[in-house]
Structure 1
Amino acid sequence: HGSGGEIRVERPRVRWKILDAWQAAAAQMGIAPIDEFNRGDNAGSAYFHVNQRRGRRWSMADAFLHPIAHRPNLTVYTHAQALQVLTDDQVHDDQRRGAWTTAQRRATGVRLLKDGQIVDVRARREVILSAGAIGSPHLMQVSGLGPAVLLAQHHIPVAVDLPGVGENLQDHLQLRTIYRIKGAPTVNTLYRNWITRGGMGLQYLLLRSGPMTMPPSTLGAFAKSDPELTSPDLEWHVQPLSLPKFGEPLHRFGAITPSVCNLRPSSRGHVRIADADPLTNPKILCNYLSTDADRRAAVTGLRMTRQIMAAPALARYHPQEVLPGPELESDEDLQQAAGELGTTIFHPVGTCAMGSFDTHGIPNSAGTVLDTDCRVYRVAGLRVVDASAMPTITSGNTNAPVMLIAERAARAILE
């Protein structure tokens, strides 16, 4: 960022005394403050830069969709549900190298539920599926594109046997620790008072700054759980607030939530249909903390968080551990706590994974679903363009990488 491009990236418009102190405490533990994370090496701590335009969220729809919504060749349906990818056996596409050279079926459109009516939308060239790492494999499976054994269990005719569809699920597990603090404002304390709450609103309306411009996580840090690693494998999202769980009211005491996650989990899960009905939610099994390596990383992250919270820079704020609780000291106790505290950061990936192909258009792994142009193996005219295409989760947030996957696919389609 800096000049040009559709996505806006701006510096944050709010700072917090307690987060400045947390950053200083992290520095005392060897995690140096840096200006930002987008310079090629994210080791260190910084306030997150944000996708905003003058304090307002700048989404991918703002950047890419709204400016071209007037185009005559674009129709947008809202309040519609995709039910099925339609296919037939009339494969007559350009047989260039890649996933379509051995096509058995061709995608011809999508069946939708719109305003209570079934609507079939036909495609002359391609169908591009972007329903996410949960929705895309689910929609493919109910369409007969997936593991043959799974489809047979639910009496779905197998259009193309694709064993990797829905497998290889990866996610970042966030361990939300909570610490009471004194002597500095937090969202908990400001929101409790109607005067300060009104002040936050005025600050936003007049200056487009302050707590109402705050992203979900304000301060971040990246560090190595082992000095021998070549790059950080732990990330902290530090929030100047606390709550029992997402969707519940804030605690009535001043607190912060330094959450830590393992950026390169080895645990793998899956997304699988529960039945043949496309409106039935799929079964999602993340298998968090199912490997020794992930359990060790969780314990290390929790212990490093405690070291930061005990550093001299935070002493004046008298931090007191609420979760997981200071009485939990052994590795076994902390592993159990990680399983209880852990929540998703909404980074699921990998369930329609890209892979490499040989010169005959055959994937080198049975789990491969896509080629590097996001084309579905053996299904001509179908691409999957979302986080499910990542064979391995990124060592950081997934929003910008998904945009880059979309840019690559767009160029391939234009070619």
Structure 2
Amino acid sequence: MDFDYVIVGGGSAGSVLANRLSEDPSTSVCLLEAGGGGKSLFVRMPAAVVTALPGRPRINNWAFETVPQPGLNGRRGYQPRGKALGGSSAINAMLYVRGQQQDYDGWADLGCDGWDWDSVLPYFKRAENNELGADSVHGDSGPLQVSRQKEPRPITHAFIQAAQQMQHRHTEDFNRGDNEGVGLYQVTQFHDPAKNGERCSAAAGYLFPVSGRPNLTVITHAHASRLRFEGKRATGVVYRVRGKGADITVQAKREVLLCAGALKTPQLLQVSGVGAKSDLEPHGIAIHHELPGVGRNLQDHLDFALIFKTKDTDNFGIGPTGAARLLRHIQRWNKKGVSMAATPFAEGAAFLKTTPDLERPDIQLHFTIAMVDDHARKLHYGYGYSCHVCKLRPESRGTVGLNSADPMAAPAIDPAFLSDKRDLQTMIKGARMARDILNAPALAKYRHKELFGTDTAQTDQDWEEHIRARADTIYHPVGTCKMGVDEMAVVDPQLRVRGLEGLRIVDASVMPTLVSGNTNAPTIMIAEKAADMIKAAAM
């Protein structure tokens, strides 16, 4: 099978490229996705993310683990990633967060010309169909529907009030380039009447509406196993369907586009012979093209949660009336697109400075309307809420490598959490600030019991013990095929793999540094910008 473009990965970036590149009816596009169709109720109903997140069973989820983390008392971290059309946008909390202006200006300072805030803002706007309409920083005609939350809980409003009582300013919009403040997240959720309240994954926004195009071929359950080359030119992708035996090859007449994400894209390169010789030779993989930066520079947001029980039942929990209440909420959501079934769980947002002299916020809080312990893999009877703390710009750097030469095996993921002591220091400051907000008067009527003893005075040593014992990812791995101009860059500012032809990477792995917030919206922006680059190259 021959196509102009072969896209590996039908997630946030792959869905965008499949749409934009197939806009020209004379251009043929093939999209390969290892997971399923991404249209089930488990995806469409926002609250159903609780079925996918724990990975037990693996519903639309790769459910990876890290190697043991010395910074986390030797524990293996958990790395849920989306495995369906829509990718991680099919199982995330739907939070629409772009990051801060300085993030992108910083990319440009590193030599990534054309990636400063003013240059990327038009692509954020092009992607967006914001419920509140268009203005200088928002769009209202893009494929990605961005909404206000449907029915945020009263406890979330109390959290916002509590933060204001601690002298943090209220912010209506976290996507204007300056995130500081506290408020409600916007969400990637349908606001049009036909699908009101449903998750707007990247596939639902970009891919499903154009799936009937005759020049677009989408193949699900297709696990890419290696890239094909003629000399230094990528010419196609070999994939296999689990349980179906023989490998299948699709040829790319113009370009192969890797959109498999920060964990799978470097693995596919490595099993195809592209990477550092020292990483590949132990697995018996012959070097096709030496590129030492592949799999390096992994960055991720480490998350630490403070968790409280409450006697208030107007949130998620496990109790004698819980099932009946949830059924009523699902029925309301099905009819009107509202109710607690439409929640992103992480309803309350805060971007704060741990010291007032900082130029911009260095921590992010996610306030969730449930007791989210160990990625919802540890359940607690009753009702509660959580406040999650992460350092926005971690100093620690990790790697993605191989466990074996088998492309079907999981990659070896080492975020190296807390390997830089500065990250721990900021996390401790952030945890103290979160505790102070949770102990503010506005939340007094909701507090009943804190689960882990973090609601009283703690020394730095106490906080360190808590963080090392329970912290883990909040699902933002990036950087493993970074864009740049230095010798460790994997792609240039046009996202072309250095030293090879006909091969680009378009996903979160190209971010040279982690943005100050959630990564779905920036990944969609990257793909929108890449589509223009790819089209220009074909002219």
Judging changes above 3 Å, is the alpha-carbon distance between structure 1 residues 175 and 381 closer, same or farther for their aligned structure 2 residues?
same
**Residues 319-339 of structure 1, C-alpha deviations (whole Å, 9 max, x = no match):** 432135447722122112112
Contact 1:271–1:351 (CA under 8 A) maintained in structure 2: yes
- Is the Cα–Cα contact under 8 Å of residues 197 and 342 in structure 2 kept in the other structure? yes
- Give the Å deviation of 1:169: 0.2
Aligned partner of residue 146 in structure 2, secondary structure: coil
Alignment equivalent of 2:183, drawn from 46, 49, 64: 46
What aligned pairs does 1:5-84 form with structure 2 within 5 A after superposition?
5-53=142-190, 54-84=196-226
- TM superposition shift of 1:30: 1.9
8 A contact 1:25–1:311 mirrored in 2: yes
2:231 equivalent to 1:110: no
Correspondences of 1:12-411 after superposition (within 5 Å): 12-53=149-190, 54-89=196-231, 105-114=232-241, 115-183=244-312, 185-188=314-317, 192-248=321-377, 250-323=379-452, 325-326=454-455, 329-356=458-485, 365-411=486-532
CA distance in 2, matches of 1:411, 1:324: 52
Q: Which moved more, 1:50-59 or 1:244-253?
A: 244-253
Q: CA deviation at 1:49?
A: 1.2
Q: Deviations over 1:267-309 (max 9, x none)?
A: 0000001221211211110111111210101101111111111
What is the rounded CA distance, in whole Å, between the counterparts of 1:192 and 1:250 in structure 2? 17
* CA deviation after TM superposition for structure 1 residue 14, in Å: 1.1
Output the CA distance in 1 between the equivalents of 2:318 and 2:153: 13
Deviation at 1:341, TM superposition (A): 1.7
Deviations 1:140-192 (A, max 9, x none): 00100000121122221111110000000000111111012234622116784
Aligned equivalents of 1:60 and 1:313: distance in 2?
37
Tell me how far apart the structure 2 counterparts of residues 273 and 191 of structure 1 sit (CA, whole Å): 46
* Displacement of 1:247: 4.3
Question: Residues 5-25 of structure 1: CA distance to partner in whole angstroms, max 9, x if unpaired?
Answer: 111111111121211111111
Deviations 1:101-125 (A, max 9, x none): xxxx111111111333201111111
Q: Distance in 2 between matches of 1:170 and 1:306?
A: 26
Structure 1, unaligned runs of 5 or more? 90-104, 357-364
What is the RMSD computed on CA atoms of the aligned residues? 1.7
Query: Which residue identity is paired with 2:528?
Result: E
Report if aligned partners of 2:435, 2:454 keep a CA contact under 8 Å in 1. no
Aligned residues: 392
In 2, the alpha carbon distance for the partners of 1:367 and 1:205 equals 50
The CA deviation string for residues 336-367 of structure 1, in whole angstroms up to 9 with x for no partner, is 211222121211000000002xxxxxxxx221
Question: Would the alpha carbon gap of residues 138 and 327 (structure 1) be closer, same or farther in structure 2, given more than 3 Å must change?
Answer: same
How many Å separate the matches in 2 of 1:36 and 1:156?
49
Which residue identity lines up with residue 368 of structure 1 in the other structure? A
Distance in 2 between the 1:244 and 1:292 partners? 25
| CA distance in structure 2 between the aligned counterparts of 1:401 and 1:119, rounded to whole angstroms | 32
Q: Is the contact between residue 177 and residue 341 of structure 1 (CA under 8 Å) also seen in structure 2?
A: no
The 1:19–1:143 alpha-carbon spacing in structure 2 relative to 1, beyond 3 Å, is same
1:293 aligned counterpart, secondary structure: helix
Contact 1:175 1:338 in 2 (8 A): yes
Query: Do the aligned partners of 1:190 and 1:197 also contact (CA within 8 Å) in 2?
Result: no
Q: Percent identity?
A: 39
Q: 1:197 Cα shift? A: 2.3
User: Does structure 1 conserve the Cα–Cα contact (< 8 Å) formed by 2:170 and 2:182?
Assistant: yes
Cα distance change, pair 191–127 in 1 and its aligned pair in 2 (3 A): farther
2:304 maps to a residue whose letter is L
| Matches of 2:409 and 2:185, distance apart in 1 | 37
SS in 1 for 2:172: coil
Asked if 2 retains the 8 angstrom alpha-carbon contact of 1:109 and 1:121, the reply is: yes
CA 1:285–1:295: 2 relative to 1, 3 Å: same
SS, match of residue 294 in structure 1: helix
- Tell me the residue number matched to 2:74: none
Deviates more, 1:187-196 or 1:135-144: 187-196
Q: Which runs of 5+ in 2 are unaligned?
A: 1-129, 134-139, 191-195
Task: Kindly indicate whether the alpha-carbon contact (under 8 Å) linking 1:192 and 1:252 is maintained by their aligned counterparts in 2.
Answer: no
Could you tell me whether the CA contact under 8 Å between 1:271 and 1:285 is conserved in 2? yes
1:382 deviates by 0.4
Deviation at 1:249, TM superposition (A): 6.5
| 8 Å CA contact retained: 2:152, 2:343 | no
Inter-CA distance 166–186: structure 2 relative to 1 (3 Å threshold): same
Q: Which residue of 1 aligns with 2:38?
A: none
Name which of structure 1's ranges 186-195 and 200-209 shifts more when overlaid on structure 2: 186-195
